[in-house]
Amino acid sequence: MTGFRTASGPATRGIVAAGDGATAGAAAAVLDAGGNAFDAALAGLAVAFIAEPVLASLGGGGFLLAMANGRPACVYDFFAATPARPRPAADLDFRPILVDFGTATQEFHIGLGSIAVPGTVAGLFAVHADLGRMPLKDILAPAIALARDGTVLAPMQAAVMDAVAPILLATPEARAVFAAPDAQDRTLAGGQRLAWPALGDALAALAAEGPDLFYRGEMAAALVAACAAGGGQITAADLAAYRVERRPPLVWHHRGARLTTNPPPAAGGALIAHCLARLAEWDITHDGLHGAAHVAALVAGFAASEQVREALQAGEPPDWLRALDGLIPAARGTTQISVLDRDGQAASLTVSNGEGCGAVLPALGYMPNNMLGEQDLNPTGFQRWTGGRRLSSMMAPSVLDRTDGTRVVLGSGGSNRIRSALVQAVVNLVDFDLDAQAAVTAPRLHLEAGQLDVEPGIPDGAHDAARTAADRVVRWERTSFFFGGVHAVQRHPDGRLCGAGDPRRGGCVAGGVERDADR
Side-by-side strand order, sheet with 250-254: 4-7, 497-500, 485-491, 407-413, 398-401, 257-261, 250-254
Q: What is the mean pLDDT of residues 90-118?
A: 85
262-282 burial by CB neighbour count: b if 16+ within 10 A, else e? bbebbbbbbbbbbbbbbbeeb
Taking the C-alpha atoms of residue 5 and residue 499, their distance in angstroms, rounded to an integer, is: 5
What angle is formed at CA 427 by the lines to CA 426 and CA 432, rounded to 5 degrees?
120
Taking the C-alpha atoms of residue 497 and residue 513, their distance in angstroms, rounded to an integer, is: 10
The pTM for the full model equals 0.93
Residue 480 pLDDT: 86
Instruction: Evaluate if residue 8 carries a pLDDT over 60.
Output: no
Q: What is the mean pLDDT of residues 30-44?
A: 97
Helix-, strand-, coil-residue percentages of the chain, each rounded to 5: 40, 25, 40
Q: What is the mean pLDDT of residues 124-129?
A: 98
Q: What is the mean pLDDT of residues 153-182?
A: 94
Share of the chain above pLDDT 90, in %: 69
Are 337 and 346 spatial neighbours (Cβ–Cβ below 8 Å)? no
Q: What is the pLDDT of residues 296-310, one digit of tens each?
A: 899 888 888 877 766
Taking the C-alpha atoms of residue 472 and residue 453, their distance in angstroms, rounded to an integer, is: 9
DSSP secondary structure code for residue 81 in this structure: B
* 142 pLDDT tier (thresholds 50, 70, 90): very high
Q: Which residues are catalytic?
A: 334
Write down all domains in the chain, each with its CATH number in brackets: 57-246+338-351+358-377 (no CATH), 247-329+396-484 (3.60.20)
Taking the C-alpha atoms of residue 238 and residue 208, their distance in angstroms, rounded to an integer, is: 23
Greatest mean pLDDT range, 409-423, 431-445, 446-460 = 431-445
Taking the C-alpha atoms of residue 309 and residue 154, their distance in angstroms, rounded to an integer, is: 34
Q: What is the mean pLDDT of residues 259-286?
A: 91
Q: Which residue type occupies 487?
A: H
Q: What is the pLDDT of residues 416-425, one digit of tens each?
A: 789 999 999 9
Taking the C-alpha atoms of residue 338 and residue 501, their distance in angstroms, rounded to an integer, is: 9
Residue 474 pLDDT: 87
Q: Which of 329, 318, 359, 341 is nearest to 225 (CA)?
A: 359
- Residue 89 has a CB neighbour count (10 Å cut-off) of 10
DSSP secondary structure code for residue 86 in this structure: P
Q: Which residues contact 239 (CB under 8 A, 6 or more apart)?
A: 117, 214, 215, 216, 220, 223, 224
Residue 310 pLDDT: 63
Q: Are strands 398-401 and 257-261 parallel, antiparallel or unpaired?
A: antiparallel
Residue 517 pLDDT: 29
Return the H-helix or E-strand segment holding 258. strand 257-261
Are 32 and 340 spatial neighbours (Cβ–Cβ below 8 Å)? no
